Amino acid sequence: MSQAVLAAQPRHTHAATPENRRLVALWLFAVCFMIWVMVGIGGFTRETGSGLSIMNWDPIVGALPPLSTAAWNKLFALYQTIPQAQILHQGMDLAGFKQLFWPEYIHRLWGRLIGLVFFLPLIGFIVTRRIEARLIPWLILLFIMGGLQGAIGWFMVASGFDPNSIAVQPWRLSLHFSFAMLLYVSVLWTALTVSAPQAVPYAGLAWLRRWAVAATVLLAITMFAGTFVSGTQAIKIFDPAHGVGVGMPPPGWPDLGFFTDKATILFNHQALGFFTALAILATTVLAIRGNAPAPVRDAGLAIGGLVILQFTLGVTALVSKLLDIGVAHQMNAVLLLTACLVLLHRLRGAKG
């Protein structure tokens, strides 16, 4: 086929061939996977308290780590001026600083890499006309949102340099994570729709979709509440011997600070997690007992299995106070959200 014939055809009919759709979906799923890894790296950065180790934000030049001793010393000297260094890390040497530095650096580098993996194929797909025209503005918007997420990250880190501050402000951390989830959900839904453009009009399953929507909304709220547990490291106050953090509202609840009091934050996340688990398990049971077709049933099974794992990980993180398990809990939350969205996507054409 000559170039002239190609150009004469309407754009979308050329773009939406199965091969092209498969390619675009694969690319978007890869971006989703990279965001998921980013959540893990971000959680690890939070866990190690290393988020404040780089005091400047150079979106392009910052991709290079310090390459000379002088550069290291300059960065270290800058770090020593912030309150966290003076309060928590008195007498830290350069080796200790490097340990603090790398997680934050890798977190930022991975973000730049996601930007590249999103941007370069996008340009390539546009130029080779492998992508549907209506998707292009949407994907460009997603790319801009990705850049905005980097800026929000910096906005969050900057709050950690306030006087007497040893960590970033929890609400800014929550904003950073929530915006990441917004991006993730947008990319994932786009990928799912590109890979399965036709909604299957399952008859008699609209009720199940309502359950799935409710479960997903509850999950989103619980994850939002979870960001404050992470932001304040509230699991550190767990003390079963004195009844602190064992699933009971703390004395004075709910008049304590909803987003500042650690016991309140912990309880809110626990209570929401409990009801979310019930809603998701109910959705699983209803999908299975309602003889849902195999794709819906399998997504229902996935949310059921992942929520059991998620609840177990949550309890384990709490009782062990191991922040590593907290990070696993956070990453599994994203998997659970993924499974919920897959279920919703498969049910999007459900009728009656």
Partner 1 sequence: MKPGDRLVSNWLFLLTFMVFGMVAGGGHARTIGASFIMQDWAPITGFIPPLNAQGWARMFGLFQQTAQYQAHPISLIQFKALFWPMFLDRCWGRLMALVLLLPLALFWSRRRISHRLALWILAIFAAGGAQALFGWYLVRTGLQPGVLAPPPAWAAPHFIAAMFIFGALLWTALAIRTPEPARIEGAAVLKPWANASIALILATMSFGALVTATNAVTVYNSFPLMDGNLVPPSLLSMHPGWVNFLNNQATVQFCHRILATLTALTVLTTAVLGLRAEPMPPAARDAFLLLAGLVALQYLLGMVTIVLGSANLGFFHELNAVLLLAAAINTRFHLRGASPRRRVRKTFFFEKKNQKTFINLANGQLHQHGPE
Binding residues for partner 1, per CB under 8 A?
Answer: 240, 281, 285, 288-289, 291, 294, 297-298, 301, 304-305, 308, 311-312, 315-316, 319-320, 322, 325
Residue indicated by tokens 């990928």: 191
Tokens of 59: 């979106």
User: CB 330 → partner 1: shortest distance, Å?
Assistant: 17
User: CB 294 → partner 1: shortest distance, Å?
Assistant: 7
Tokens of 114: 């996601």
Are the C-beta atoms of 135 and 195 separated by less than 8 Å?
Answer: no
CA-CA-CA-CA torsion sign (264, 270, 273, 279): negative
DSSP string, 307-333: HHHHHHHHHHHHHH--HHHHHHHHHHH
User: CB 288 → partner 1: shortest distance, Å?
Assistant: 6
* Residue closer to partner 1, measured from CB, 34 or 282: 282
Please state, as a whole number, how many other Cβ atoms lie within 10 Å of the Cβ of residue 148.
13
* Residue closer to partner 1, measured from CB, 254 or 305: 305
Q: Smallest Cα–Cα separation from 181: which of 39, 43, 314?
A: 39
**Which residues contact residue 47 at a Cβ distance below 8 angstroms, ignoring those fewer than 6 apart?**
323, 324, 326, 327
* Residue closer to partner 1, measured from CB, 82 or 280: 280
* Residue closer to partner 1, measured from CB, 180 or 277: 277
Are the C-beta atoms of 334 and 252 separated by less than 8 Å?
Answer: no
* Residue closer to partner 1, measured from CB, 228 or 311: 311
Please state, as a whole number, how many other Cβ atoms lie within 10 Å of the Cβ of residue 134.
11
Rg (CA), the chain: 23
DSSP string, 288-311: HHTT--HHHHHHHHHHHHHHHHHH
* Residue closer to partner 1, measured from CB, 318 or 334: 318
User: CB 87 → partner 1: shortest distance, Å?
Assistant: 28
* Residue closer to partner 1, measured from CB, 68 or 289: 289
* Residue closer to partner 1, measured from CB, 16 or 325: 325
Cα 240 from Cα 233, distance rounded (Å)? 17
User: CB 305 → partner 1: shortest distance, Å?
Assistant: 7
Residue indicated by tokens 């994570």: 177
CA-CA-CA-CA torsion sign (249, 252, 255, 259): negative
User: CB 226 → partner 1: shortest distance, Å?
Assistant: 19
User: CB 312 → partner 1: shortest distance, Å?
Assistant: 7
User: CB 76 → partner 1: shortest distance, Å?
Assistant: 33
Cα 220 from Cα 258, distance rounded (Å)? 17
